Each structure stands twice: as C-alpha cells, then as structure tokens.
Amino acid sequence: MNIATKNISILNQNFTLTNQRALFWEKEKALIFSDLHIGKTAHFRKNGIALANHIMKNDLERLSILIEYFQPEKFIIVGDLLHAGNNSDVDEFCNWQKQYPDIKFCLVEGNHDRISKTLEKKLCLDSRSTSLEIDDIAFVHDYDRANPKFQITGHIHPGFVINSAVKRIKLPCFAQTSKQLLLPAFSEFTGLDTKNIPKKGMFFVFTDSDIYEV
C-alpha cells in the first residue's frame, strides 16, 4: 500500500492529509478519520446479501499501516465508527484493537453510532461525546452552522467528479473551506456524495498513489 501525503495548515497548526482516507495532526499525535462503518458487511449478510468480510479486513489493514507510519498516540474518530450496533464485525474490530493498547480511542458520535453501555465497554473507548474541541477546533460528525469554531467533520462521504475527454471519473476527496475540513469516509465500502459537498473551497482528490489539489 502506498501512502501519499499533503500538508495543510488549519489555524496555524500542521495537518497531514493522506490518500488512505485519514488525517494526521502533528501537535496532538492524533490520527483522525471518519465513517469506518464497522459492521456494515455483517449487517448486509444478516439481511440476506452475501458480502465477503475481507472489506472490513482491508480497512483495518490500512489502519494498521497508518499506525506504523505515523505512530499516533490517539485516534479521533469523527462519527460512524459503527454501522448497525453490535455484530460479528464488531468482535473482529475489538480483537484488532487489542494490538494497540497504548493508543487512546476518542469517538465523536455519528448518526449510526447506537452504542449501549455494554457495547461501549466492549469497544474500550477512552472517550465518547457528541462533539470534541481541541485548540479552537471542533470535531463534529456533521457540520453545525451554529458553531463558530473551525470544524473537522465527516458524514457526507465526499466525492469529486473529474471530467476528461474520455470519461467521467468520481474520486473520494477532502474538502477545505475557511470554516470546515470535510473528511472522506475511511471505509472503502461507501458511496461518494458529489452534491452535498461545500460549494467553495479547496478539494484534495486522491487515488491509490497520489493526492491532487483541484
């Protein structure tokens, strides 16, 4: 797996975008991502749709490689860690998580994160909240127009359309405005929304090998 990076500045802080759908905050030693949707494949299988579980395995393998690359001290998960409550995929995630006992897991809850007290204990979360603020930066799952702080968000699963003379390509992206950094969905088993992304700003589109500002 190739890791391509691009540095950006938010409120004079250095952040590193990656083509592996995650962001690294140097000052906080934090790996930041959104929309992992653990349990989505198991949920589909439970409802009669045959899906191989290698989809989640691939997502966790990418996370492991990012951990090795950045050596983070904590995760900030900007919502939708889970997809449909507790299921066999959650068990697999918890077993994977045990490899990294020194990394703090901080969850900002998303609309899919229906977590009971029992499930919260099982997930070994160090913190769980509907929003998190660090150094005047707010982490929320979906953009909150009432919050004046700069926000790092998820939820939308942003995509960007590139038109060429040959074909129309839709790629995942980060979107940055003066008020927001919208993260791509970390899980590759998600659709791409090209309509509800910010109308103005910088878009960092990525492929398996590189990141491009468009």
* Dist. CA 113–CA 121, nearest whole Å: 14
Judged by DSSP in three states, 41 sits in helix
Query: What is residue 89's predicted lDDT score, i.e. its pLDDT?
Result: 82
Query: Cα 50 vs. chain centroid, distance in angstroms?
Result: 25
* Residue 144's CATH number: 3.60.21
Tell whether the model's pLDDT for residue 191 goes beyond 70: yes
- How many domains is the chain built from? 1
Query: What is residue 209's predicted lDDT score, i.e. its pLDDT?
Result: 93
Sequence-distant (6+) residues with CB within 8 A of 111 are 79, 80, 141, 142, 155
State the residue for tokens 């198991």.
42
* Dist. CA 129–CA 135, nearest whole Å: 17
From 159, 169, 146, 141, select the one nearest 196 (Cα to Cα): 159
pLDDT tens digits, 30-85: 999 999 988 765 544 554 545 556 778 899 999 999 999 999 999 999 999 986 65
Sequence-distant (6+) residues with CB within 8 A of 116 are 86
More confident: 186 or 200: 186
Per cent of the chain over pLDDT 90 is: 69
Tell whether the model's pLDDT for residue 102 goes beyond 70: yes
Tell whether the model's pLDDT for residue 128 goes beyond 80: yes
- The mean predicted confidence, pLDDT, of the chain is 90
pLDDT tens digits, 149-166: 999 999 999 999 998 777
Question: What tokens were used for 133?
Answer: 């603020």
Whole-angstrom Cα Rg for the chain: 17
State the residue for tokens 């000052």.
27
Lowest mean pLDDT among 13-27, 83-97, 106-120, 175-189: 83-97
Predicted structure pTM score: 0.92
Domain that holds residue 179: 5-213
Average pLDDT over residues 13-23: 97
Tell whether the model's pLDDT for residue 115 goes beyond 50: yes
